[in-house]
Amino acid sequence: MPQKYDPEYYLKHKDQPIAWRNANPDKHKESNRKSHLMRKFGITVSQYDRMLTDQEGRCAICKDPQAQLARNLAVDHCHDTGKIRGLLCLPCNTAIGLLKDSSDIVISLLEYLKGPVCK
């Protein structure tokens, strides 16, 4: 027989997860990171770490080292296929999003930047 909802049990135990999180901030942060990587990208922390090692700890585009950044490198993926392309710093990852993941827009941007004003 299914167990009924017990409001007294809920009220007695509702603060336990918050208390654990407050008592274990590092474990909570790592648990969230592990869950996020698996849920959103289907990879483990060790797979992320391997990618980071393969990229020599740097953004795949601008080559800034993660050690100098305020945040971990973001997992960049193709929105059409879902396949992971690499790890990017926040500005590079944001730029790709603002350019709509379009290589045509990137080429147009390069042509614009090489225009007569900058020569």
**Average pLDDT for runs of 10 along the chain of length 119:** 76 83 88 93 97 98 95 94 95 96 95 85
Distance CA 119, CA 114 (A): 7
Q: How many C-beta neighbours within 10 Å does residue 92 have?
A: 20
Residue 119: the pLDDT is: 64
Same domain, 116 and 74: yes
Opening angle at CA 92, ends 54 and 101, nearest 5: 100
Residues 68, 19, single domain; the answer is no
Q: What is the pLDDT of residue 69?
A: 93
pTM of the model: 0.77
For residues 12 and 69, state if they share a domain: no
Domain total of the chain: 2
Domain membership of residue 50 (yes or no) is: no
Query: What are the start-end ranges of the E strands in the chain?
Result: 74-77, 84-88
For residue 51, is it within any domain?
no
52 within a domain of the structure (yes/no) = no
Query: Do 107 and 70 reside in the same domain of the chain?
Result: yes
Are 27 and 62 part of one and the same domain? no
How crowded is residue 34: how many other Cβ atoms within 10 Å of its Cβ? Answer: 13
Q: Count of residues for the chain?
A: 119
Distance between CA atoms of residues 12 and 66, nearest Å? 43
Burial of 40-75, coded b for 16+ CB within 10 Å and e otherwise, reads ebebeeeebeebbeebeebbbbeebebeeeeeebbb
Q: 62 and 5: one domain? A: no
Please give the residue range of the domain that contains residue 30: 1-42
